[in-house]
Amino acid sequence: MTSERTAVVVGASSGMGRGLSELLLAEGWTVGVCARRRERLEELRAAHGARAVPCVLDLARPDEARAALESLLDGLGGCSLFVIAAGHTAHDPELDWELEREELAVNVLGFTAAANLAWRRFVEAGGGHLAALTTVSVGRGDPEAPAYAASKTYMSLYLRGLRRRAKESGFPITVTEVRPAFVRTELSERIRPWGMVKVPPRVTPLDEACRALRSGLSRGESVVYVPGWWGPLAWAASLLD
């Protein structure tokens, strides 16, 4: 097994990725914190010292991001937990091609570049835990953001494929899909996705969402809903499509 209390979090500059990074660092983990905004990563370094290891990358440039992650993992000596929390989302009622291309670049190509690398490293190391954030509405088309919904469903199916691969091959690799609902983050405050639904939902505070995420990861669950009570609601909603 690779480095037991070493993690990599892609998307650590804000939102649930940053919150999870801070929880892990507070527990004594060494965390490779990855994102586009160097200054945000340096804040984590200043707050937590050498255990926060910054890595500047952009999943919209998958080959460069993969090379940066390779270098980070080499420097860390591997990791036991690899979390992909970065993503791209936009309210896109006009089906703007540039927005859709950006979403697909990050959520499909960038995600796959990172997940594929993590899988290969865990196979070489003899085990590990891969997790990624999708959405509570996986599998459902979104008329206001069709590329986003489709890309998150791709992520879900890719993770499911890796989970089956681990089971059938006997590799001790845990694969977790995290399905957040409405969480109050910097990004969600800008686009306010809860304004697109007929019934205003309960918006989960970021710290509560991050604690639920950390708890689900610690249990090694296959699918984690954030918050947990969204699981039955998501199942019921899938029957209406």
DSSP-assigned states of every residue in 128-197: EEEEEE--TTTTS--TT-HHHHHHHHHHHHHHHHHHHHHHHHT--EEEEEEEE-SB--HHHHHH-GGGGS
According to the model, what pLDDT value does residue 187 have?
Answer: 59
61 pLDDT exceeds 50?
Answer: yes
20 pLDDT exceeds 60?
Answer: yes
Q: Any idea what DSSP says for residue 223?
A: E
From the list 46, 56, 57, the residue with the least C-alpha distance to 22 is: 46
Out of 3.40.50.720, 3.40.50.300, 3.40.50.2300, 1.40.20.10, select the CATH number for domain 6-238.
3.40.50.720
Query: What average pLDDT does this structure show over 5-32?
Result: 97
The predicted-structure confidence for 88-135, as pLDDT tens digits, reads as follows: 876 667 888 888 999 999 999 999 999 999 999 999 999 999 999 998
Query: What average pLDDT does this structure show over 196-223?
Result: 83
According to the model, what pLDDT value does residue 102 have?
Answer: 92
Model confidence, pTM: 0.89
Band of the pLDDT at 24, cuts 50, 70, 90?
very high
Contact of 9 with 32, CB cutoff 8 Å: yes
Provide φ and ψ at 152, rounded to 5°: -70, -35
- Share of residues in the chain with pLDDT > 90 (%): 69
Q: Report which listed range, 145-149, 191-195, 205-209, 218-222, is most confident.
A: 218-222
180 pLDDT exceeds 50?
Answer: yes
Domain locations along the chain: 6-238
From the list 135, 212, 211, 216, the residue with the least C-alpha distance to 179 is: 135
According to the model, what pLDDT value does residue 105 have?
Answer: 95
According to the model, what pLDDT value does residue 87 have?
Answer: 85
**The sheet that has 81-84: what strands, in order across it?**
52-56, 30-35, 6-10, 81-84, 128-133, 173-180, 223-226
The predicted-structure confidence for 217-239, as pLDDT tens digits, reads as follows: 999 999 999 976 555 555 555 55
- When the pLDDT of each residue in the chain is averaged and rounded to a whole number, the result is 88
Cα–Cα distance measured from residue 112 to residue 119, given in angstroms and rounded to the nearest whole number: 10
3 pLDDT exceeds 90?
Answer: no
Query: What average pLDDT does this structure show over 72-89?
Result: 94
Cα–Cα distance measured from residue 161 to residue 19, given in angstroms and rounded to the nearest whole number: 28
According to the model, what pLDDT value does residue 164 have?
Answer: 97
81 pLDDT exceeds 90?
Answer: yes
Band of the pLDDT at 201, cuts 50, 70, 90?
low
